[in-house]
Amino acid sequence: MSVEVRNITKKFGAYPALYDVSLKVGTGELVALLGPSGSGKTTLLRVIAGLEFPDTAEGRVLFHGEDVTDMPAHKRRAGFAFQHYALFRHLDVFENVAFGLRVRSRRTRPREAEIREHVERLLKLVQLESFAKRFPSQLSGGQRQRVSLARALAIEPQVLLLDEPFGALDAKVRKELRQWLRKLHEEIHVTTLFVTHDQEEALEVADRVAILREGRIEQIGTPDEIYDHPATPFVYDFLGNVNLFAGRAREGAVIIGEIKIPAPGMTGGPETPAAAFVRPHDIHVTRERSGTATLAARVRHSHAAGALAHLELERLDNGEPFTVQLSKEQFRQLRPRLGERVYVELRNVRVFPEGS
């Protein structure tokens, strides 16, 4: 079951939530919509579910090639899990999950025994078999979210839409549920879109990640592609874990302090301000100056808790801070002292013109 949206534009008052967004999700794919708050990711999900409608006639929603743009939400069979679960408080867990089956028309409604069997199978899938008689108020946040997932799955949805499914949970439960969701998806293989603002979550769980910014898709690709080849400074910045060096670009190269790094994308002409992005693990630190392409820096702070060690340095020429990540082994050899002068070499530098 593939899902496609074409040229979706949606405004709330004067504020554009989505601007000409197109996206195709293949059958059985798990796609993350990643972006800061207000980037339109939830609106896109709601448009697919039929809870919002596109503003213009060009905006279309297709399920497996069939146009469902004008179909009301209750006919789309799009399972939706809400950030705050939206469980029915007056129904117990079993009846919450059975809801979607009980509201079917008399002709397609399963018999009571079939409903019971189906719901029990789903409760087992979400590991809540023993909670069938509990009410939502008697469950923890993680359990509630799993009930809401089981409830959405009960209708055998054409597509599963998860709106910040783990947003309201604490870090440990989040991490567990994340892995559980990945496993679940491998078991049932339903086409899934999920919204998140947590880049780690998106990169870990999804087959593909779409990064949204101010109502537009900034980049879409596999987690590897997105992480290794960010298309724009925004994506670089949003994925986090990156150092930004301000420099000047001229004739196919960028100058940062005393060093000059080739930047093929930058055309000749007058000198322009540019931003160079380097990941913390792509910075090599030495105590002595080796070669010419190094920057002088001072050690401001170091910490070695965890699998990797981190150094916080600041450039000697303009005081700009940046972070370096190194292995425990390298850290032991270097043994940096506070305030000490070191030299850094930048690798895999990605340059963008300023303001892009």
Q: Which of 84, 328, 332, 347 binds other proteins (CB under 8 A)?
A: 84
Question: Least distance (Å) from other proteins to the CB of residue 81?
Answer: 9
Beta strands 321-327 and 208-213 are unpaired
State the Cα–Cα distance between residues 119 and 91, nearest whole angstrom. Answer: 14
Least distance CB 236 / other proteins (angstroms): 35
- Give the x-and-dash track for 108-137 against other proteins (CB under 8 A): ---------------------------xxx
- Rounded to a whole number, what is the distance in angstroms from the first to the last CA of the chain? 37
How far is it, in rounded angstroms, from Cα 226 to Cα 224?
Answer: 5
d(CA 144, CA 136): 7
- Residue closer to other proteins by CB (options 35, 136) is 136
The binder of other proteins chosen from 6, 77, 182, 260 (CB under 8 A): 77
Is residue 151 a contact residue for other proteins (CB under 8 A)?
A: yes
Give the pairing type, strands 192-196 and 350-353: unpaired
The nearest distance, CB 164 to other proteins, in angstroms, is: 13
Cβ neighbour number for residue 66 with a 10 Å cutoff: 9
Comparing CB distances to other proteins, the nearer of 161 and 242 is 161
Among 1, 71, 86, 293, binds other proteins (CB under 8 A): 86
Per rule CB under 8 A, count of chain residues that contact other proteins? 34
In the complex with other proteins, the residue whose CB is nearer, 151 or 174, is 151
**Beta strands of the chain (E only): which ranges?**
3-12, 15-25, 30-34, 60-63, 66-67, 78-81, 159-163, 192-196, 208-213, 216-221, 243-250, 253-256, 259-262, 272-278, 283-286, 295-303, 308-315, 321-327, 341-346, 350-353
Question: If residue 134 lies in a helix (H) or strand (E), which one and from where to where?
Answer: none
Asked if 100 interacts with other proteins (CB under 8 A), we say yes
Which residue's CB is nearer to other proteins, number 51 or number 255?
Answer: 51
Comparison of 134 and 248: residue with beta carbon closer to other proteins: 134
**One character per residue 153-192, x = contact with other proteins (rule: CB under 8 A):** -xx-------------------------------------
Minimum CB separation from other proteins for residue 170, in Å?
Answer: 17
Residue 79 binds to other proteins (criterion: CB under 8 A): yes
53 binds other proteins (CB under 8 A): no
Q: Are the C-beta atoms of 345 and 289 separated by less than 8 Å?
A: no
CA angle, 239 as apex, 324 and 3 as ends, to 5°? 155
The correct pick among 36, 72, 252, 321 for binding other proteins (CB under 8 A) is: 72
Rounded CA gap, 309 and 108, in Å? 60
Nearer to other proteins, 46 or 213 (CB): 46
If the CB atoms of residues 54 and 100 are measured against other proteins, the closer one turns out to be 100
Give residue 351's region: left, alpha or beta (phi > 0; psi -120 to 50): beta
What part of residues 212-271 is at the interface with other proteins (CB under 8 A)?
Answer: none
3-state secondary structure of 285: strand
For residue 19, the Cα-to-chain-centroid distance in whole angstroms is 19
| Other CB atoms within 10 A of residue 9 CB | 16
The residues that touch other proteins, with contacts defined as CB under 8 A, are 49-51, 72-80, 82, 84, 86-90, 92, 99-100, 102-104, 135-138, 148, 151-152, 154-155
